[in-house]
Amino acid sequence: MTPRFDRWNPLTPLAASLLLVTVAFVAPAPWAPAIALAIALGAAWWAGVGRRAGVMTLSIAIPTFLLLAVTNAVLVPAHATAALGGMAFDPDAARDALAVSLRLGATIAALTTVIAGIAPRRLTRALAARGLPAWAAYLVVASLEAAPEARTRAAQVLDAQRCRGLSPGSGLLGRARALVPLIGPLVSGLVVESEERALALDARGFVPGRRRTALTSIDDPARERGLRAAIWLAIVALVVWGLVR
């Protein structure tokens, strides 16, 4: 989470990220996805989550590009019109691989910026204020918090195992060896936590069909509502333009 996004209603950065995703997939490639990716990474650095968004984006976009480029442009070229190191090469397939990886990277960067920069509970409160059902809000916050909570619990279990004399060692072999005593306590802990969540919801009178009443409201000034309306109109216009062009 970052205090930079606390100045905004969570729905505004979410709408902006969806606009970038729409631009990346609808506008012509590769320039539009590249611009969307640059804007998303810039927003991530501005929000203080640039390293996380950059690592997530590069770790998925680069392998995707290499896999598609090597498979479609070098190993099995459909229309080989050039040569690369004495091998047939398809430039069109390489451009398509670049477009796919840029679109995927822009999507990951934009959504990671929102997920990492906004507290999940704050985002779900804003969605609930706009009419999101209580059961859907719970699913959203539980999904967004699942990975951080599992990572924290895994670290706690590993620390407890080390206090009891476990010495996993270092390197890939040591990490693989540490997984065996880690899986059992981690899974059982997550199951117990799920039961505790269910009991807590029941004790608080959770009813899926009723509207939640939040203790703290999230500001939604008129300027942000107008900005979001313009963003939604831009998304609709882009989608319609992509369908009719």
DSSP string, 149-196: HHHHHHHHHHHHHHHTT----SHHHHHHHHHHHHHHHHHHHHHHHHHH
Contact 2, 48 (CB under 8 A): yes
Task: Kindly tell me if the per-residue pLDDT of 89 is higher than 90.
Answer: no
**Residue 61's pLDDT band (cuts 50, 70, 90):** very high
Q: Considering only CA atoms, which of 104, 26, 29, 113 is closest in space to residue 61?
A: 104
Q: Quick one: average pLDDT of 71-77?
A: 66
Instruction: Tell me what pLDDT residue 20 has.
Output: 95
Q: Map tokens 């809000």 to a residue.
A: 137
Task: Kindly tell me if the per-residue pLDDT of 201 is higher than 70.
Answer: no
Evaluate the omega torsion of the peptide bond into residue 30 and state whether it is cis, within 30 degrees of 0: yes
Distance CA 168, CA 181 (A): 10
**Residue 184's pLDDT band (cuts 50, 70, 90):** confident
Question: pLDDT per residue over 111-142, tens digit each?
Answer: 999 988 888 888 888 887 777 776 677 777 77
Task: Kindly tell me if the per-residue pLDDT of 91 is higher than 60.
Answer: yes
Instruction: Tell me what pLDDT residue 152 has.
Output: 79
Instruction: Tell me what pLDDT residue 186 has.
Output: 73
Task: Kindly tell me if the per-residue pLDDT of 2 is higher than 60.
Answer: no
**Whole-model pTM?**
0.75
Question: H-helix or E-strand containing 82?
Answer: strand 82-84
Residue type, 104: L
Q: What is the CA 72 to chain-centroid distance, rounded?
A: 28
Which phi and psi (to 5°) does residue 2 adopt? -135, 140
